Structure formats: structure tokens, C-alpha cells
Amino acid sequence: MAALRLVVGLGNPGPEHAGTRHNAGFWFVDALAADLGADFALDRKLHAEVAKARVAGEVLWLLRPTTYMNRSGLAVQGALAYYKIEPDQMLVAHDELDLPPGTARLKFDGGHGGQNGLRDIVGQLGHGKFHRLRLGIGHPGHKDRVTPWVLGRPGKADEAAIRGSVIDALAVMPRVLTGDLNGAMKQLHTNEDAGKA
């Protein structure tokens, strides 16, 4: 795997969405920016807030689309073209219904699994060949409840678990950013197992 050059957090803009489950990707990219000492600034041409960091001497771009979730591909495709980055050099952090709160998983390639931000990115790119960080938010149990669930705020225990998974993911980012995805996956599993022990 090539070293990463772009990390995208998915979410909805505006303070009314800041604490919702659907914004777990924003929670992660915000935490990564803080960890790397990078500050976001609005870039209107890219429809996103952008931060520039350096990792091992290489430039790493962080992106928060300012479109709504279902139009995330606009910012992602624009950033890939503008910075001349290949999709397989990108990691997209997003909320994941199919994982319980407190679980973080890394994945390369695949479909969108019903996640509207991923759906738009895959639609814009024409494929799913990019890295994903899946942050579990749990499932409400019935498909009719999914929209209010993802747009709602988690309870205190679930929020603590989701933010804990963000911290776990941050711990493996040095490996992810340099291209050691397998090592990062193993470390994530080990950290989670240790946390449950």
C-alpha cells in the first residue's frame, strides 16, 4: 500500500449536526488535525475545509466537506484532482451502522453499504478503491429507524464508546499513514481486545 496523502472525514456541516452519529467521521478528522497540529481553513473552490500537515516529511491533506453528506463526492473528487492524489492514497473516515459503538475497522475497496457519503464518493469516482476507517455507531434495529438514528445524538455511553474508537484509530494512524495497513489492523484488534479484558 502506498503512503496516504489525503484523509477525509465525512459528516454534515453546521452546529446542529456536530454531535450526531453521522458526524463520527468529522470527530475523527478533527482529532487527527489536533494530533498533527494542523488547522482547518475554508476552501470554497473545493467545497471543503482543508488542513495541511506533515508526516515523516511528506504533506498530508485533511478534508472536511462543507456539502451535506449525500454530496461528499464533490469535495473528494475536487481534492483528488487539485492535489493530484490517487484514490488509493486516500482514507475516508465515516460512521458505520454495521459495527457496534466502540469498534473501529480499516478496510480497502468495496461498496458503500448504504452510507450516503460513501455512495456519492463511489458514484463520483466510478469505483470504491480507496481506504476506509469505519467507526461503529450501532444499528437501531429496523431500516425505517436508520435516518433518525444517524441524524440523532448518541446517549452518553455510546458517545463515549464512539469517541474511544476515535482514540483507538488515532493510535494506529502512524502505521496507516505510512502504508502499513495490515499492521494497523492488527494493532486495532489488539487494542480493542485489551480494552475489553
Tell me which residues are annotated as active site. 22
Residues in the chain: 197
Closest residue by Cα to residue 50 from 77, 42, 58: 42
Closest residue by Cα to residue 93 from 189, 152, 33, 23: 23
Residue 85: count other Cβ atoms within 10 Å of its Cβ: 16
Between 116-125 and 72-83, two packed helices, what is the crossing angle to 10 degrees?
40
Distance between CA atoms of residues 25 and 22, nearest Å:
8
Q: Which residues contact 173 (CB under 8 A, 6 or more apart)?
A: 32, 35, 184
Closest residue by Cα to residue 167 from 2, 66, 34, 8: 34
As a 3-state breakdown, the chain gives helix, strand, coil percent values, each rounded to 5, of: 50, 20, 30
